[in-house]
């Protein structure tokens, strides 16, 4: 095997040695086996996720309004009159699509977080595309959520460009197995989405300190826009975040789950959404494969794993 060949691709044996979980294995062995189809609406519909969180005391951004009918769109300016800033998002959207962050507005004009000025008509059109299902998973009619805008926590000021970072925890059988923090870049246009060009750093499960890093599937140590190192940042309220993630996974009854948090400057970690098919780039950010950790969790007796044991396991897994 030549040296140059190594840079273009990895051999399956090498990936296996690193315990890399491939997309087929994730779907066939974990998602299809551990996530009952009947529970999918709980994660696919963000309103339902929020409801479950609220019922069980897991913090979420406050819901201001739910836009369900065309009639609500006409009255939109009135509905948000008393909210200086808010976020509009489709209840069944995927990959951060269709999200509009309004930083300030009057009745006729809305200013987004990126400084773009939108007339009311444009915002209303955006709402109608959400309702008609443009962003929803299978194109079914959808609802639009108007919710509290999260104020970015100061911890990330130097490594987040144009948006709010989010923290993804992947849980298997309600045990946190891997985590990362996703930082928006100019390329990702403020969205904390890896496949749109955001950068991610791994988060150590035991300590909540960042390390590693990935951007566009390449190992990366510094933020591409600010050149700041993305390793060595401590995630505030890490234990509370992990506890909330484990609690939510248990309530959603999904065996293989990704939970996304944002850190609010005052409220701390709040749940943004959950994902039944969390992406695999988290392994690149960690420079570690998921398989050894998943197998370690499977070594536990079948059935519910007690919460104290889960926390212990998370620390053990961090070193695998």
Partner 1 sequence: MINIRRAVPWVVGGLVVLGTVCTATRGYVRRQMPLTRGDSLWRLTYSVEFRARKAGAKVLVGVPADTRRARVYRQDLIYTGLDPVRSRPSRASNREVELVALRRGPYTLTARFDFHLSPRELSRSAEPSGQPSAEDRAAWLRGTKTIQVASPPVAEVLASLRREGARPADLVERLFEYCTSEIESGDNDAPQDAAGVLTAKRGTPLGRARALVALCRAGKVPARLVAGFEIQAGEEVRPRVWVETLTNHHWDSFDPVDGYSHELPHTFVPVRRDGTEIVRLTDAEQAAVTFSLVRLPPSPGIFRSGVRAHPLEILDLTRLPLEMHDVLAVILLMPLGALVTAVFRTVIGVSTFGTFTPTLLALAFVYNDWRTGIFTFVVTLGLGLVSRSLLDRLKLLMVPRLSVVLTLVVWCIIFSLSLLDYFHVASSTQAVLLPMVILTMTIERFYLTTEEDGPRYAVQLMAGTTVVAACCYAILRWNEVGDLLLAFPELHLFTMAALVLLGRYTGYRLSELRRFRDFLKTET
Determine if 15 is a binding residue for partner 1 (CB under 8 A). yes
Q: Stretches 121-129, 150-158, 160-168, 223-231: which one binds partner 1 (CB under 8 A)?
A: 121-129
Determine if 304 is a binding residue for partner 1 (CB under 8 A). no
Q: How far is CA 275 from CA 150, 215, 219, 271, 303, in A?
A: 20, 20, 24, 11, 22
Closest CA to 58 of 244, 264, 275: 244
Determine if 275 is a binding residue for partner 1 (CB under 8 A). no
Q: 205-224: which residues touch partner 1 (CB under 8 A)? A: 214, 217-219
DSSP letters, the chain, are --HHHHHH---HHHHHHTTPPPHHHIIIIIIHHHS-GGGHHHHHSHHHHHHHHHHTT---PPEEEEE-SHHHHHTHHHHTTT-SSEEEEETTB-TTTT-EEEEEE-SSEEEETTS-EEEHHHHHHHHHHHHTTSSBTTS----EEEEPPPPBPGGGTTT--SS--EEEEEEETTEEEEEEEEE--TTTTT---GGGT-EEEEE-TTT-BEEEEEETTEE-SB-TTT--B-SSPBPTTHHHHHHHHHHHHHHHT-SEEEEEEEEETTTEEEEEEEESS--STHHHHHTS-SHHHHHHHHTSPSSPPPHHHHHHHHHHHHT-
Q: Out of 63, 112, 132, 237, name the contact with partner 1 by CB under 8 A.
A: 132
Smallest gap from residue 230 Cβ to partner 1 (A): 15
Residue nearer to partner 1 on the CB measure, 84 or 139? 139
Tell me the per-residue interface mask from 27 to 66 with partner 1, x by CB under 8 A, - otherwise: -xx---x---------------------------------
Cβ 261 vs Cβ 270: under 8 Å: yes
Residue nearer to partner 1 on the CB measure, 231 or 234? 231
Determine if 112 is a binding residue for partner 1 (CB under 8 A). no
Cβ 249 vs Cβ 171: under 8 Å: yes
Determine if 7 is a binding residue for partner 1 (CB under 8 A). yes
Q: 177-206: which residues touch partner 1 (CB under 8 A)? A: 195-196
Determine if 292 is a binding residue for partner 1 (CB under 8 A). no
Size of the site for partner 1 (CB under 8 A): 37
Cβ 223 vs Cβ 230: under 8 Å: yes
Residue nearer to partner 1 on the CB measure, 25 or 243? 25
Contacts of 14 (CB under 8 A, 6+ apart): none
Residue nearer to partner 1 on the CB measure, 171 or 241? 171
Q: 66-105: which residues touch partner 1 (CB under 8 A)? A: 97
Smallest gap from residue 289 Cβ to partner 1 (A): 8
Q: Out of 54, 68, 85, 122, name the contact with partner 1 by CB under 8 A.
A: 122
Smallest gap from residue 185 Cβ to partner 1 (A): 14
Determine if 2 is a binding residue for partner 1 (CB under 8 A). no
Determine if 171 is a binding residue for partner 1 (CB under 8 A). no
Smallest gap from residue 175 Cβ to partner 1 (A): 16
Please give the residue ranges that form the binding site for partner 1 (CB under 8 A).
Answer: 6-12, 14-15, 18, 20, 22-25, 28-29, 33, 97, 121-122, 125, 128-129, 132-134, 195-196, 214, 217-219, 283-284, 287, 289
């Amino acid at each position: 095997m030549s040296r140059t060949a190594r840079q273009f691709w990895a051999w399956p044996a090498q990936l296996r040695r690193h315990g890399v979980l491939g997309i087929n294995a994730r779907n066939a062995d974990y998602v299809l086996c551990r996530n009952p189809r009947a529970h999918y609406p709980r994660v696919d519909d963000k309103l339902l996720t929020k409801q479950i969180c609220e019922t069980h005391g897991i913090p979420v951004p406050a819901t201001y309004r739910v836009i369900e009918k065309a009639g609500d769109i006409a009255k939109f300016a009135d509905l948000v009159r008393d909210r200086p800033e808010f976020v509009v998002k489709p209840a069944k959207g995927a990959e951060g699509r269709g999200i509009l962050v309004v930083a300030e507005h009057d009745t006729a004009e809305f200013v987004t977080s990126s400084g773009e000025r939108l007339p009311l008509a444009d915002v209303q059109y955006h709402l109608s595309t959400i309702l008609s299902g443009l962003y929803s998973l299978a194109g079914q009619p959808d609802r639009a959520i108007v919710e509290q805008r999260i104020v970015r926590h100061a911890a990330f000021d130097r490594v987040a460009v144009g948006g709010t970072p989010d923290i993804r925890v992947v849980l298997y059988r309600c045990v946190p197995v891997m985590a990362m923090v996703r930082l928006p870049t100019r390329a990702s246009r403020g969205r904390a989405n890896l496949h749109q060009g955001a950068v991610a750093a791994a988060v150590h499960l035991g300590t909540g300190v960042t390390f590693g890093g990935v951007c566009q599937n390449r190992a990366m140590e510094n933020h591409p826009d600010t050149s700041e190192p993305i390793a060595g940042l401590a995630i505030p309220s890490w234990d509370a975040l992990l506890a909330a993630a484990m609690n939510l996974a248990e309530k959603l009854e999904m065996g293989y789950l990704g939970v996304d948090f944002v850190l609010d400057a005052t409220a701390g970690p709040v749940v943004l959404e959950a994902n039944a098919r969390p992406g695999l780039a988290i392994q690149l950010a960690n420079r570690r494969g998921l398989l050894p950790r998943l197998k370690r969790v499977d070594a536990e007796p079948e059935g519910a794993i007690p919460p104290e044991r889960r926390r212990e396991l998370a620390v053990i897994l961090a070193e695998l």
